[in-house]
C-alpha cells in the first residue's frame, strides 16, 4: 500500500511510519512541526530531544534499509497537500495531524482558535484532497474516546440504535466532550459522516483512549528513533506523566478524587489497531467507528500501579491529590464497548508491572533532563 501519514513527526505518527515501512509499505510522512512549536512556546519540551523528521528518516534507513519519505508543510493548506495527493496517490491516509492537547485548547482565545481552525482545517483539506484526487483512498482518522464524555449509560462503538415513538433509526452515539480540543474531534466526526454519506468516501474513525509507552520494535533499535515523550501538563498523557513524577520524586498529581475512569492502551496496540484498520479498509459510503482502548482504569488505579512498579526499581512513590484544574466528573459510571478491533485481530499488550518497570528504567536513564517546573497543571478550565 501507499500510505500517507499526516502528523508523522508526532508521538504516534513516527512509530506508525516506521511500522508500515518495516512491513514493506510505501510510506510518506507530512508534518509542519506544530507540536514542537507549541512545546517551545509553552515550555513543554519532551523528555528526550528527537531529531527532526529528515534526520530520523535517514537514521531509520541506515539502520533498517527501509525508506520513509518526508514532506514538511501544513496539511490544512490545499496548495501543499493537494499536489502530494495527486502525485503520491495514497491508498490510505492516516490522519493524526491535529493539535492534541486539551489543556492547551483551554488556555485562552488564541489557543482555542488555533486548535479549532487547525483541527477542522486539516480534516476538511484532507477530505477535499481525497474527493479530488483519490476518492477510493481510505482515511484512518484518529478521534478520541473523549468525544463521548462520561454518560450515565453504556458507551457503544460509535453508533446507537434508537427507537422513538415506534420507529427505529441508527445514529451516531451522542457525544458531549469535556474540552475544546475534544469538541473539535466531535466536529471532525460529524464532518466526516457528512462527506461519507453524501460523496461515498470510506473512513475509519478511531475513538482512541490515552496512549502510554515508548517501546516499539523499531523504536527499540536506537534511542534516537524513540517517539516524543512528554511529561508536562500540556502534552503529557497521565501514565507517562506519573512515571516521570515517580522518578523525579514528585508526588503523583491525582486530579481531585481520582475516580475518573478512561480506556487506555499501549503504544504497541495503537500501531496494531491502525495497521488492522488500514489493511481491512472501510467500504465506500461507510464511516466505520472503533473504540480503541484495551483496559479501563481510574486515575487512582493508575497511581497505585505506578507506585507498585516504582517499588520494584527502588523508588518511594507518594500520591498527592491536587485541586482538579479540569471541569469533569471525578466519580462516575463508565462502561464502553470495544470489541470491533479485537474481532479484526488485535492482541492487546496489557499494562503489566513489567511494562511499567521498563518505562521507568528508560525515564531513570534520562532523569537529568526532567524539569519539575513542567509538572504541575498551569491551565484551569475556568
Query: 197-206: b or e for each residue (b if 16 or more CB lie within 10 Å)?
Result: eeeebbbbbb
Least Cα distance to 93 among 51, 120, 58, 128 occurs for 128
Task: Give the shortest CB-30-to-ligand NAD separation in angstroms.
Answer: 6
Q: Which residue has the cell 478550565?
A: 381
In the set 181, 212, 231, 264, the catalytic residue is 181
Between 71 and 305, whose beta carbon lies closer to ligand NAD?
Answer: 71
Task: Give the shortest CB-23-to-ligand NAD separation in angstroms.
Answer: 19
Catalytic: 185?
yes
Task: Give the shortest CB-233-to-ligand NAD separation in angstroms.
Answer: 15
What residues line the site for ligand NAD (CB under 6 A)?
7, 9-13, 30-35, 74-76, 96-100, 118, 122, 142, 144, 208, 210-211, 228, 237
Between 157 and 315, whose beta carbon lies closer to ligand NAD?
Answer: 157
Task: Give the shortest CB-242-to-ligand NAD separation in angstroms.
Answer: 14
In the set 16, 115, 123, 144, the catalytic residue is 144
DSSP assigned state of 252: B
Q: Which residue has the cell 523525579?
A: 248
Give the whole-angstrom CA distance, residue 48 versus residue 366: 7
DSSP assigned state of 380: -
Between 214 and 315, whose beta carbon lies closer to ligand NAD?
Answer: 214
Give the whole-angstrom CA distance, residue 349 versus residue 101: 25
In the set 11, 42, 123, 185, the catalytic residue is 185
Catalytic: 231?
no
Catalytic: 199?
no
Helix (H, G, I), strand (E, B) or coil at 264: strand
Give CA separation, 162 vs 64, 290, 339, in Å. Answer: 51, 19, 20
Between 37 and 320, whose beta carbon lies closer to ligand NAD?
Answer: 37
Between 25 and 95, whose beta carbon lies closer to ligand NAD?
Answer: 95
Least Cα distance to 14 among 260, 211, 158 occurs for 211
Task: Give the shortest CB-148-to-ligand NAD separation in angstroms.
Answer: 12
Positions marked catalytic: 144, 181, 185
Amino acid at each position: 500500500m501507499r500510505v500517507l501519514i499526516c502528523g508523522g513527526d508526532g508521538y504516534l505518527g513516527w512509530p506508525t511510519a516506521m511500522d508500515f515501512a518495516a512491513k514493506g509499505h510505501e510510506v510518506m510522512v507530512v508534518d509542519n512541526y506544530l507540536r514542537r512549536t507549541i512545546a517551545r512556546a509553552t515550555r513543554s519540551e519532551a523528555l528526550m530531544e528527537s531529531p527532526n523528521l529528515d534526520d530520523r528518516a535517514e537514521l531509520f534507513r541506515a539502520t533498517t534499509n527501509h525508506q520513509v519519505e518526508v514532506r514538511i508543510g501544513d496539511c490544512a493548506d490545499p496548495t501543499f497537500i493537494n499536489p502530494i495527493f495527486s502525485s503520491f496517490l495514497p491508498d490510505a491516509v492516516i490522519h493524526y495531524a491535529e493539535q492534541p492537547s486539551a489543556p492547551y485548547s483551554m488556555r485562552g482565545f488564541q489557543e482555542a482558535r488555533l486548535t479549532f481552525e487547525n483541527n477542522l482545517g486539516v480534516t476538511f483539506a484532507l477530505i477535499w484532497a481525497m474527493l479530488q484526487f483519490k476518492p477510493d483512498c481510505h482515511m484512518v482518522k484518529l478521534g478520541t474516546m473523549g468525544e463521548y464524555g462520561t454518560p450515565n449509560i453504556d458507551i457503544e462503538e460509535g453508533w446507537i440504535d434508537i427507537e422513538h415513538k415506534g420507529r427505529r433509526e441508527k445514529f451516531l452515539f451522542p457525544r458531549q466532550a469535556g474540552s475544546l480540543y475534544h469538541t473539535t474531534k466531535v466536529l471532525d466526526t460529524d464532518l466526516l459522516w457528512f462527506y461519507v454519506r453524501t460523496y461515498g468516501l470510506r473512513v475509519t474513525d478511531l475513538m482512541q483512549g490515552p496512549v502510554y509507552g515508548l517501546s516499539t520494535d523499531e523504536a527499540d533499535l536506537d534511542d534516537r528513533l524513540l517517539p516524543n515523550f512528554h511529561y508536562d501538563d500540556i502534552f503529557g498523557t497521565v501514565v507517562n506523566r506519573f512515571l516521570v513524577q515517580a522518578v523525579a520524586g514528585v508526588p503523583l498529581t491525582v486530579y481531585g478524587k481520582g475516580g475518573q475512569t478512561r480506556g487506555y492502551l499501549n503504544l504497541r496496540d495503537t500501531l496494531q489497531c491502525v495497521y488492522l484498520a488500514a489493511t481491512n479498509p472501510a467500504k465506500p459510503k461507510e464511516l466505520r467507528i472503533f473504540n480503541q482502548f484495551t483496559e479501563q482504569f481510574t486515575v487512582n488505579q493508575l497511581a497505585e500501579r505506578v507506585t507498585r512498579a516504582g517499588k520494584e526499581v527502588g523508588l518511594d512513590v507518594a500520591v498527592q491529590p491536587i485541586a482538579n484544574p479540569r471541569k469533569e466528573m471525578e466519580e462516575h459510571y463508565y462502561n464502553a464497548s470495544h470489541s470491533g478491533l479485537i474481532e479484526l485481530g488485535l492482541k492487546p499488550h496489557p499494562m503489566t508491572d513489567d511494562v511499567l518497570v521498563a518505562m521507568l528504567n528508560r525515564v531513570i536513564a534520562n532523569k537529568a533532563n526532567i524539569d519539575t517546573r513542567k509538572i504541575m497543571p498551569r491551565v484551569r478550565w475556568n
